[in-house]
Amino acid sequence: MTEKPWGGVFREATDQRVELFTESISFDRRLYRQDIAGSIAHARMLAAVGLLTRDEAAQIVKALEEIREEIDAGNFEFRVGWEDIHMHIERVLIERLGDVGRKLHTARSRNDQVATDFRLWVRDAIDTILPLVRKLQAAFVNRCEADFDCVLPGYTHLRRAQPVLAPHYWLAYCEKFERDYQRLLDCRKRVNICPLGSAALAGTSLPIDRHMTARELQFDEPSPNSIDATSDRDFAVEFVFDLALLAVHLSHWAEEWIVWSSEEFGFLKLPEGFCTGSSIMPQKINPDVLELIRGKTARVLGHLQQLFVLLKGLPLAYHRDLQEDKPGVFDAYDTVVGCLEVAIPLVELTELNRSRIEESLERGHLDATTLMEYLISRGIPQRTAHSLVGRIVREAMDRQCRLADLPLEVFRMADPSLDANVYSVLGVKNAVQAFRSYGSTCPEEVRKQVERWRERLARDLGA
Ligand code: ARG
């Protein structure tokens, strides 16, 4: 029988099956640094308000620091019967300090303790992931110069639509990842609230200083309502939502580059160090890293769903259900960090297959829209211009040629006043140049985007 800190009222020992079923140490050991940081702040606060002597607090802080070093070094025994990380650390503290150790849990409960630990952990996780997002954006931005003159077919419905500059594509991803970045930063504000001192749910009758604890842990402020603070896991849902959308954005990109690096498209050459082979087909060089990025997105989305379902219908305040909040959050974080860590070098090292892109570029009449807009600028109503160009495109299809290869009389059938100047918007290179609206794909606009990104990243990366 393992002695429990909560065992006073019990006359029977905990069934071993229950110990196995209820333990969380197998995963919440991951919170040990946060748990110890929270306890140190709590001990200092207890001393400041006179609930511990200075000497007692100093002993506690010192012992906790030693425990942290032991866990860091792998010299700490974890036991299922000791339930969770909070009880492990407290138990060892009591073993070492006796009655002084028994005072640490004054004016707190595991309910506010775990909420505090988890918020500290999510805050650290956000602080780790933000620079990785920036690095991924930098990888795209750093390609822009070398890829600047490369025109790619832009797609809608995965059908050729309009020509775009390669850096315009790269920066489209930067914008998506920027929203992820800003969302995480914004989430951090709501994470950074200190529940410690809310105790079990109602607070405490002891004269604690919650503002001090919050300050010690670099939280922005103490939580204003103890019942909410011990039951709230919104911050975890928000965090996983932000990760899920980030993962979805990664999956867009991964899917696109899987397609673009296929034999059929041939636009990209993936670095071989980031591909794997087949055990039966000797010729295969597969994009497994990109496939796994796409595939792992599913796990992150699953964790978001699990958290929502976990929380749905729970009355106030703490319930043991909440213990189930951590594994999915940890895994969502690990998964997204893992994806980012391989996405960054993939973006850096993948090469454009310019000759393949060039030779296919004139297929699909990517210049049809600029031709239509040319007619519009000469006073033809859009709907009319659209259908005239539709007929011209049909003519080109029948002749199996580009719009630019059609003789002038074909264009004159649409608009008799047209002259050879019409060819200035035809051909993919001309078509790209013809764009001019803010945020569009013409070189001047894309150049502005690149500059904006360079400045933003330089500011943030301190480069
Ligand atoms: N291991 C628990 C969790 O993660 C800690 C809080 C336990 N509180 C309680 N009243 N049983 O939620």
Distance 111 CA to ligand 1 centre (A): 6
pLDDT value for 462? 66
Q: Please spell the DSSP secondary structure of 251-298, one letter per residue.
A: HHHHHHHHHHTSTTT--EE--GGG-B--SS-TT--B-HHHHHHHHHHH
C-alpha 129/C-alpha 150 separation (Å) is 31
Is 115 a pocket residue for ligand 1 (Cβ < 6 Å)? no
* Whether residues 303 and 403 fall in one domain: no
Residues 123 and 31 grouped into a single domain: no
Q: Are residues 180 and 289 in the same domain?
A: yes
Domain containing residue 313? 111-156+163-209+224-359
In a domain, 32, yes or no: yes
**HSE of 203, CA atoms in CB hemisphere, 13 A:** 11
Question: Are 195 and 268 contacting, i.e. CB atoms less than 8 angstroms apart?
Answer: no
Residues 204 and 286 in one domain: yes
Among 341, 359, 377, give the residue marking a domain's end. 359
What CA–CA distance (Å, rounded) separates 73 from 62? 17
Residue 24 CA: which ligand 1 atom is closest? 1
Ligand 1 geometric centre to CA of 24 (Å): 9
Instruction: Establish whether 355 is a catalytic residue.
Output: no
Question: Of 26, 262, 278, 387, which one is the catalytic site residue?
Answer: 278
Are residues 129 and 262 both part of a single domain? yes
Q: Is 278 a catalytic residue?
A: yes
Spell out the residues 6+ positions from residue 9 whose beta carbon is closer than 8 angstroms to its own. Answer: none
Say if ligand 1 is within 6 A of residue 323 CB.
yes
Cα gap 44→178, rounded to integer Å: 39
CA dist., res. 204 & res. 237, Å (int): 28
Please identify, among 294, 328, 359, the residue that sits at the C-terminal boundary of a domain.
359
pLDDT in tens, the chain (463 residues): 458 889 999 999 999 999 999 999 999 999 999 999 999 999 999 999 999 999 999 999 999 999 999 999 999 999 999 999 999 999 999 999 999 999 999 999 999 999 999 999 999 999 999 999 999 999 999 999 999 999 999 999 999 999 999 999 999 999 999 999 999 999 999 999 999 999 999 999 999 999 999 999 999 999 999 999 999 999 999 999 999 999 999 999 999 999 999 999 999 999 999 999 999 999 999 999 999 999 999 999 999 999 999 999 999 999 999 999 999 999 999 999 999 999 999 999 999 999 999 998 989 999 999 999 999 999 999 999 999 999 999 999 999 999 999 999 999 998 999 999 999 999 999 999 999 999 999 999 999 999 999 999 999 876 4
What's the number of domains the chain is made of? 3
In a domain, 7, yes or no: no
Is the same domain home to 352 and 427? no
Q: How far is the CA of 73 from the centre of ligand 1 (A)?
A: 26
Residue at 257 is within a domain: yes
Ligand 1 centroid to Cα of residue 242, in Å, is 26
pLDDT score of 403? 97
Radius of gyration for the alpha carbons in the chain, expressed in angstroms and rounded: 30
CATH of the domain at 432: 1.10.40.30
CA 313 from centre of chain:
28
Our mutation pick for probing the ligand 1 site, out of 116, 201, 311, 320, counting the most ligand atoms within 8 A of Cβ, is 320
Peptide bond into 63 cis (omega under 30): no
Q: In terms of domains, do 63 and 116 share one?
A: no
> Are 276 and 171 in the same domain?
yes
CATH number of the domain enclosing 299? 1.20.200.10
**CB distance 24 to ligand 1 below 6 Å:** yes
* CB atoms inside a 10 Å sphere around CB 186: 12
